[in-house]
Amino acid sequence: MSEGFQHATPVSIPYATLISSSIPLDTLEQAFGPTSLGILVVTDLPQHFSDLRKKLLSYASLLGRLPKETLEKYELPEKNFLVGWSCGKERLGNGEIDKLKGSWYANVGEGGREGNVWVDEDVEKNMKGFRITMEELCHFIVDTAKLVARACDTFSAAHIPDYTPSFLESMIADSQTTKARLLHYYPSDEAPTSADSWCGTHLDHGCLTGLTSALWTDESTLSDKAKADDIVELDSAPDPEAGLYIHGRDGALYKVGIPRNGLGFQTGEALEKITRGGLKAVPHFVKGTRPGVGLESNPGAKIARNTLAVFTQPNLDVKVDGEKTFEVFQREIIERNTTY
């Protein structure tokens, strides 16, 4: 895959501009219009965000190193493995079971948090602070998503006939289904079998997805007693081709980066259905690292990738496709992509 893709710089706006609701309409057109990538990056976020991001993404490496029998205590098959720990429960686009990453899911929508499960921090002492860090960061991302939704509403009102004013902002504010996914891509010595080996090409099935930049780290020197502060973030992925890719609406493939002090927001499939194609979902995937690439001076390195995605979603009774509710729409996707 050394050829055939382009580097893209997503449309970005400073956090202060987002708060002031003073985004020019042509900027929104570039971010969400018919020829756009469908992603908007909010930059210059408060230092508090950067601190929470580093800490939470560091916990992802610690989670991935917990014993299998410990992690199994936090698996909830009755919740379709979409609360707590999940690994090996999904299928990639090629039909293979995805064992390359582990995930911690939490419900973060208003009124939907009571069903969560959390690591016992009194037992797993190196995870102390995990729950509060994830809750605080997700709360900030959801609040920022509401502001991005307000911008989407402005764009949609100007381009989509009969668009309901403030629809998306209200949907996110009232959502009881918004879900966060903390992802840990395990180090691997195996060469990728396809470009989208770490996360197959897909559409997020919600409305707006908030994405942190990935934290890349070398886990080869970590001890079993390592804490979040012991995780050292690399300047970038050793393999320059590893990371997030978007299939553009022009048919081209783009590699996209999100700065550490920024959040990316991309549109999902439910939003495309609700707006009758006015806002298009973003096909994307993650390419893994190639063994040894960029590690000539450190051949024993074990490179992991950690990130957080927050999926803002409609409530279950919202109609997203004709008479089909989001509950049915979501269930069909889960059944198609899971192994159980």
Report pLDDT digits (tens) over 238-258.
999 999 999 999 899 999 999
For residue 183, pLDDT over 80 is answered with yes
Residues sharing a CB contact under 8 Å with residue 276, sequence separation 6 or more, in sequence order: 160
Specify the pLDDT at position 35: 87
For residue 227, pLDDT over 90 is answered with yes
In this structure, is residue 211 part of a structural domain?
yes
In this structure, is residue 331 part of a structural domain?
yes
CA gap 180, 187 in Å, rounded = 22
Handedness of CA 150, 155, 158, 159 (dihedral sign): negative
For residue 338, pLDDT over 70 is answered with no
Specify the pLDDT at position 296: 80
For residue 192, pLDDT over 70 is answered with no
The parent domain of residue 159 ranges over: 6-337
Specify the pLDDT at position 180: 97
Start-to-end CA span in the chain (Å): 32
DSSP state of 204: -
Q: How many domains does the chain have?
A: 1
The whole-number average pLDDT for the span 220-244 is 93
In this structure, is residue 271 part of a structural domain?
yes
We report the CATH number of the domain holding residue 254 as 2.60.120.330
DSSP state of 117: -
- pTM value is 0.93
Look up residue 133 and give its two tokens: 């860090």
Specify the pLDDT at position 238: 92
In this structure, is residue 72 part of a structural domain?
yes
Maximum average pLDDT range among 211-225, 274-288, 320-334: 211-225
CA gap 108, 135 in Å, rounded = 7
Beta bridge partners of residue 75, listed in sequence order? 84
Q: What are 62-103's pLDDT values in tens digits?
A: 999 999 999 999 999 998 899 999 998 876 666 677 778 999
In this structure, is residue 166 part of a structural domain?
yes
In this structure, is residue 1 part of a structural domain?
no
Going through 72-150 in order, the beta strands assigned E by DSSP cover 84-87, 101-107
- Compute CA distances 13 → 20, 43, 308, 309, whole Å: 11, 6, 20, 19
